[in-house]
Structures are given as C-alpha cells and as structure tokens.
Amino acid sequence: MLWGKFDYFEYLTALEVLVRADDINAHLAAWVLARWHASHGRWHDVYALIEPVVQDELAMSVIGHQGPFLLCFSACLECFDVKKAEVLLAHSGWAETNDKLLARSMLLEAHDKAACLSLLFNKQGLSSVFCASNATQLTLDTLQSEKQQFFFQSLFQPLVTIIIPCYNSAHTLDVALKSILQQSWRRLEVIVVDDASTDHSVDIIRQWQSLDKRVKLIQQDTNRGAYAARNRALQVAKGEFITVHDADDWSHPEKIERQVKALLKNRTAVASISYWVRSSSALMFQRWRMEDGWIYRNVSSLLFRRNVIKVLGFWDLVSVNADTEYYYRVKKVFGEQSIVEVLSGVPLAFGRADENSLSQTSATHLRTQFRGVRKLYHDAATRWHNQNSPHLYLPPEPEVRPFVVPPQICRGSTSIQNQNRKLFVQQCSGVDENWYLSRYPDVAAAKMSALEHYLLHGETERRDPSSLFSCSGYAYALNLTTKQSPLVEAITAGYNFSAPIQYVGLQQLADKPVLMLFAHAASGGQFGAERSFIDVLQAFNRLGYRLIVALPEAKNSDYVSIVLQYCSRLLILPYQWWYAKRDANQRQTEYLKDFMLEQKVELVYVNTLVLFEPLLAARAADIRTVVHVRELPDHDEALCNVLGSDAVQIRQHLLAQTDYLIANSRIVADWLAVPERTTIISNTVSMDSVPALSPCPKLRVGMLSSNLAKKGLSDFMALANLCNQQHLPVHFFLYGPDSDDLSAYITRGAVPANVRLCGYVAKAEDALVKLDVVLNLSHFQESFGRTVLEAMYSGRVVIAYSWGALPELVQDGTGFLVPFKDWEAVKDVLNILLSDPELMQKTAEKAACYARDRFSAETLQNSLEILLDQTLKVSMP
C-alpha cells in the first residue's frame, strides 16, 4: 500500500505508529519505513530506523535475508560513519555473500579494492580485475580487466551482435566500448547507434572504429529514443546471437562468452540473461529500493537467438521498460524455461547509476513500477501478451500502437502519440462529457466533443475535465511544469478521482467549531475580491475557528499560498457560477454534503452570490449558510448577462438558497431588502504603512484597476488627454494588468503622452507610494470600493464618481465626489488641488484617520464575532 497507493499517507502514519510498538512489529515496520526513506534519500531517518533491526535476531529471521545489513551499511556511509560500517561487516549474523564482498570493497582503496572485487569473480572461475597502473583510485573509468588469451578457434565462433544506443554519452562511451571490445568472445559485431547526440559522442565512436573494425556506426537524424535506435540496428544486425549494451555500463570480459555458451549447451533455450549491480562512477554500490540484495537480474542483458526476431520482432517504441516487456514476451511465446539464467547472483555488469538517466528521473523513476508509468505499462503489456499470444510480433515502425501506454513514455510518430493519448484518457474516463459541455458553453457552441476539445485545447488552457478534478490544483500540488498534463499525470499516478485535490493548511486548531468557506476564482493577481476574502479568513482565524477553505482553481499560486496560512485544510474543487437554467451538479453537491458531515461543519460561508452547489450541499446536510454579498446586480449589466438573469431573478434565487446574508455596504443591503436576515459588514483594509510623498512639481494621479472598460478606462484616458491639452502639471499613472480594452488603446496609439502604464502590482502600497491622488471612475456602481478605501487609509486624496457605495466611504471632507462621467469636474478638482496644497494635505490626513478608525481589521473581526455569536448562534465552547 505504501508503494502502490497515491494516497499513501495513512499507511505511512500507520507504520510510524507500529515503529513505536513494544514488540517485533516495531522492527519489521522500521525495515519497511527505512526502505521508503532510503528511496527518497532521507538517510538520517534510515540510519535511526535500521540499526535496531539488524540487532534483533527474531526480526532478522522473519525478514530472512541480508537486505537490512546492506541498507544499514549504506546508511552508515551516507551519514559518514565509516567506523560503524566496519563494525557491521564483522557482524556474525551477516553471511559471507557476494553483496557483502561488494560492501567490503567500498571501504578499500585502489588495488585492495580491485583484489576484493576479483575475489568475487574468481570464486566463479572468472578472470580478475585491476586498477589502471596510473590511477590512484579504482573507478568505473579506471577499471581494467585481465588480458584474455585468444585462440584460432575464435574464427569459428558464432557471430554475436551487440547493439549500443548512444545519446550524449561522450563521458562514458570509452568505458562501455572498451569493456565490450575486450570480451573473451572475439567474434563480435558492435553496432553503435548515435541518437542525434549534440556532444562529441560520434568522434569517440569513430576513433574506436579506426582501432577495431568490429565497430559500426549508425547515425540518427533526430533523437527518437533508445528503443528506436535499437530497432534501427536490429534491422541490419548479422549476428547469430544478439544482445544490447548501454553506453554508460561496464561488462566483465567473460559476460558474452558465458551467456553464449549457456545457449550452446541448451539448444531448447532461445535466450540467456545475467546479473548486474548498480554502481556510481566511484564504484559505490547501491540499490534504490533495497530488497534481498544489491545484485539482481539484468533484463537488458538478454542475449537471444536470431530466430527470436522472426517470431517476436522488435522492441516496443516507448521511453522505458521495453527491455522488461521483451523479456516477458519471450517467455510468453517460447515458454517459462526458454531463458537461461547465467551465474545467478554474480554481477557480470556494473550499471552506472547516473542521476540524469531515465531510471532516476521523477516521471519514470523505478518506483513507478509500483505506481505510475512503469506499473501501467507493465500491466498493459501483460494484458496484450495474454490476449494475443502467440501472435506478439512488433514491426520496427508500427503504424498503430499494439496497446495503450502512458503518454509520458509513448514514442513514435505524432499521429501514434496523439491516438495513444486519446485512448489513454478515454479508457480512464478522464473527461466528463456532460459536465465539460455545461462548464464550457463555448465548447458546446462549437459542437465539439468534450474529449476532442480537451485534448486539442483544454489541456493546454488548464480547463478542468470533470467536476471533482482541478487541473490547476493538481499542477500546484505536484509542482508540474506547463508542458505536463495534470490529467495524464494524475491518471498515471493512480489519483483517486472520487475526491478533489486537498492540501493541509498551516492552521492547527483541533476540537474547535468548524467553518467551511467558499471563495470564487482567483485571477492572475489579487484584486478586491481576493483581498477581501483573505481579510475574512484572517478574522475567522483570530476568532479561533477551525477553517476549511474551498477554491475553484489554483492558478494563482501566491493566493493559494496565502490561503493555506489561515486554514486547516484547502480543497480545490472546480465549482462553477450559478446561472439561469443550469442544473446543479449532483456529483459535486453529494461530495460536498458528505464532506461537510464528515468534517462536522457548523457553518458554510460563501464569499459571493454567484455560487450554487455549496449552498445546496449545506442545505442537504442541514448546515446553516451565510452569503457575503459583494456584488450589486441592480447596476451591473455585465454580471446579469453572465448569469442569464436580471437583478430581480438573481435576488430571488439568492434568498431562496441561503439562510443569512452579509452586505458589504448599505446600498447592497438596500438591494437585498431583507433586513431581518442581513448584516452590514464593511470591507476592511490592512496595509503596510505608505510613506508620505516627497514634493513634486507635478501632481501624480493614478488609478488602480483591472483595466476593463466597465472600470472607467475610457474616462481615465479622456481625463488625461484633457489635462494634457490644457497643459496642466499632472502626471497620470495607470496600474493594472494587460487587458483587451487597454490593448486597443495601445494598438491605435491613443494613450496620451502624460500617461504611464505601470502594469499590475500585487500590493496596493507599491502603487500608492508613488501617487498623490487616486481616481475611481467605474462605469458600474461599486458595491464597496476597496481601492478607494486603500487610498484613504494610506493618506491619499480620492476623487470618485458619486454613485454606488462610494458616497458611503467618501464623506465629510475625506475626499471629493463628482457627477457620474463628468471628467471635466474631475479636472476642476485637480486644478483646485494644484492651487491649494494645504487643502490636499488636510483632505489626505482626514481620509487616513477616517479609514483607519472605521475600517480596521479589528472592526471586521468584532462584526463577524457578533454575527456568529448572536445571529447564527455558533458560539465557541
């Protein structure tokens, strides 16, 4: 379960509990955990766990092999405790095995190390190895083999073809080729296929060609992978026996001879195979997942008769594991006894453990044989073997894949990869057709199938394929690159699609009343909606409630990181906005209902009026709800159009779905018109201090906006143009992200000369520090006006249109209100400020005092506490 499950944490926890038990289970669990930590490189954890295991005779008898000794030895060296490693080698319970000889060699230098390794080989009648005479250390690069005696009968030996695929292997090729060309079996054809290397690998191969005519070179025009390179060579191979060799490995000089002779003696066998050990360049031996020993079967050493090609054909075109697939294909067609094992437990090859090799990278790491690409590939290959045996022939360049594989390892033509990707997602039901078309009306309008659109466009656009799976949430959790498909990665990893992605937050409050909070999507930055939600989150956190938060996406990683600081758990659930005639998603609603009951949620808080499923789920679970209304549909035509309803219908829908309401201004409360259910709680502002501005000959006027037309972009440009024409000493600054509306001004050269486009800033302070005056020229009635409040809080003068909720903020000399769309009036105020610096100073100071007194974080916290304690009757125990 620990190695094979995506949600392995409960098994990890259970093992950690067992480690603390006072019986044999403690040491058995320690052995399991130590292997797990070692595979992740956590050697100090391994060191602490494994030492008591090797001292427990009962535990060792149950385990039944030397694995714990080897793992303990590795931990000693990784933790730089050589003395403890020496003591371990003297342990009476550790039998004298070949693995132990390898371990002993790791504590020796140069010629002593070579003598120790030679002892291992000599016990089997194999020749010795030496350290190069000019070397002070024995490494894979300085390892020399005993000179072989070659006789005339080598002319009559069957030809053996050795295929070596090579890609950017200049630093290891010499070792590999030298070990092959010094084989005691002399009649060889060595085909090296360079897979479009960009280093000087080809030069090295040609140097060897000039020294030994047995070496042949094939060059690929484009990089196609090791198995495509092997298939290219296999088509021209002339040997009666054929095998492969990696460009970074070393082979004992009698490896080929032993494997060939095993087949010559056993005419019924069609292939032979030998053993190897993984090694660093410094000849430090290892096994990434310690089992019963370091030495194990080397499937890539498969040496087979030529007639195998006629029956089975070529290697599968994938990135990894095709060696293993071919091995099992041989067994499936020719029988379990068709492959002869040679010198079991004797490492006839040292496989260089390169951190950059496929077996060590995260996507195709060897651990994925338990869960991930290797496991899925092996299972799919086994099904193909069972369903199609004995007809398992593969051509070198198949037109279609024989079976579906994880897209991450699929090679071949673009059409093959696309078709495989489609089938992979389809067979796992990764895309919910009905939900996808409902969630994305543009796809339905285009009359495309959900699967087709997702694979062509939705995947790269990070659209969500189903109602419980968030692509951005999974990408954030796994830190995926933009080139990786979250859905494909999740399917491959064995992700449980019956629940959304969840993160553990930093809040640690047990046995406290639970509130579940739902926010809307976070845009690329943090605007009013996001900052207001964080304010509420912080207030609830200070009040001592355990908080569970749900977000519909995690595209804004900075926002997600902030939210995680103030909650105990975060769900990324792709809920969508309510709109007229849209049926609720039953799968989401049922999941949320069950989750709320399981977590004993006492109140559901929804940060916007546009959500639907969270309210339905809470009602089904008999949990009270409160909606924080921050919108004003009565004066927001764009919002009404998105929701497919007028303001009256939106209000009716809202009142029918929730128990209580928070209005962030009086104008919003008046629109709701249910005072018995409504509490007015204004937004708050909490900012770093903004220093006073230094004197400047020009008045610095700015607008912080999303740069949409409805936010008054045209008015801002018109005002700046008017001031420019009248030569007023005013400099305009526009802060906000790129938008289509802004791009239109830029494209037609309509941005006035006195306007500076400053881009988006995450913190309002970074803009306000450069401004004397802040404008709000919104074309729709603001339900609150957070940027206005932030400007006032920072001691900046505000000029705004007198409508919406802004008159509730700007009053009693704290700023200036002008008639809607009257930018001439705005210009007149600017003129007054230019002529009366003292008035500007007094207005700014009064605004700061007013904002800080009435809209502080403490005020918000107190208001929410009263709401919870008195209105909703959710009190702390």
Task: Please write the tens of the pLDDT for every residue from 565-577.
Answer: 999 999 999 999 9
Predicted local confidence at residue 546, as pLDDT = 95
Predicted local confidence at residue 150, as pLDDT = 55
Local confidence band at 365 (pLDDT 50, 70, 90 cut-offs): confident
User: Does residue 549 have a pLDDT over 60?
Assistant: yes
User: Does residue 91 have a pLDDT over 50?
Assistant: yes
Predicted local confidence at residue 527, as pLDDT = 59
* Cβ(371)–Cβ(299) below 8 Å: no
Once rounded to an integer, what is the mean pLDDT over residues 461-476?
Answer: 94
Give domain 501-680's CATH architecture. 3-Layer(aba) Sandwich (3.40)
Cα maximum dimension of the chain = 110
C-alpha span between 162 and 160 (Å, rounded):
6
Task: Please write the tens of the pLDDT for every residue from 835-848.
Answer: 999 999 999 999 99
* Cβ(27)–Cβ(56) below 8 Å: yes
Burial class (CB in 10 A: 0-12, 13-18, 19+), 337: exposed
Q: Strand pairing of 160-166 and 188-194?
A: parallel
Provide the Cα torsion 824, 829, 835, 840; round to 10°: -160
Tell me how far CA of residue 171 lies from CA of 141, 244, 248, 249, 529, in angstroms: 10, 19, 8, 11, 56
C-alpha span between 36 and 218 (Å, rounded):
42
DSSP 3-state percent helix, strand, coil across the chain (nearest 5): 45, 15, 40
CA-wise closest residue to 810 among 795, 789, 796, 793 = 789
Predicted local confidence at residue 638, as pLDDT = 84
Once rounded to an integer, what is the mean pLDDT over residues 783-799?
Answer: 89
Least confident of 102-111, 148-157, 476-485: 148-157
Instruction: Mark residue 707 as left, alpha or beta (left: phi above 0; alpha: psi -120 to 50; beta: remaining).
Output: left
Least confident of 126-140, 421-435, 524-538, 851-865: 524-538
Once rounded to an integer, what is the mean pLDDT over residues 334-344?
Answer: 97
Q: What number does CATH give the domain 699-855? A: 3.40.50.2000
Q: How many CB atoms neighbour CB 318 within 10 A?
A: 25
Predicted local confidence at residue 264, as pLDDT = 96
Q: Decide whether 156-365 matches 501-680 in CATH topology.
A: no
* For the chain, domain boundaries: 9-95, 156-365, 433-493, 501-680, 699-855
Higher pLDDT, 762 or 599: 599
Instruction: Mark residue 782 as left, alpha or beta (left: phi above 0; alpha: psi -120 to 50; beta: remaining).
Output: beta
User: Does residue 801 have a pLDDT over 70?
Assistant: yes
Q: Two tokens at 280?
A: 């660093």
Local confidence band at 360 (pLDDT 50, 70, 90 cut-offs): very low
Local confidence band at 875 (pLDDT 50, 70, 90 cut-offs): very low
Burial class (CB in 10 A: 0-12, 13-18, 19+), 483: exposed
β-partners of residue 298 are: 274
Please report, as a single letter, which amino acid is at residue 293: G
* Cβ(208)–Cβ(247) below 8 Å: no
Tell me how far CA of residue 193 lies from CA of 165, 304, 447, 601, 615, in angstroms: 5, 19, 47, 63, 63
Higher pLDDT, 522 or 493: 493
C-alpha span between 200 and 223 (Å, rounded):
15
Once rounded to an integer, what is the mean pLDDT over residues 373-402?
Answer: 95
Higher pLDDT, 288 or 345: 345
Local confidence band at 397 (pLDDT 50, 70, 90 cut-offs): very high
Q: Two tokens at 120?
A: 């291992």
* Cβ(647)–Cβ(671) below 8 Å: yes
Predicted local confidence at residue 307, as pLDDT = 96
Tell me how far CA of residue 678 lies from CA of 219, 483, 619, 688, in angstroms: 76, 47, 19, 32
User: Does residue 315 have a pLDDT over 80?
Assistant: yes
For 75, residues 6+ apart whose C-beta sits below 8 A from its C-beta are 34, 38, 43, 46, 47, 50, 51
Residues in the chain: 877
The runs of H, that is alpha helices, within 212-312 are 226-234, 255-265, 307-312
User: Does residue 635 have a pLDDT over 90?
Assistant: no
Once rounded to an integer, what is the mean pLDDT over residues 318-327?
Answer: 96
Local confidence band at 876 (pLDDT 50, 70, 90 cut-offs): very low
Q: Strand pairing of 188-194 and 215-219?
A: parallel
Predicted local confidence at residue 877, as pLDDT = 43
Least confident of 371-375, 575-579, 779-783, 836-840: 779-783
Q: Does domain 156-365 have CATH number 3.90.550.10?
A: yes
Higher pLDDT, 6 or 574: 574
- Name the phi and psi angles at 757, rounded to 5: -90, 115
* Cβ(21)–Cβ(27) below 8 Å: no
Q: What is the mean pLDDT of the chain?
A: 92
Local confidence band at 428 (pLDDT 50, 70, 90 cut-offs): confident
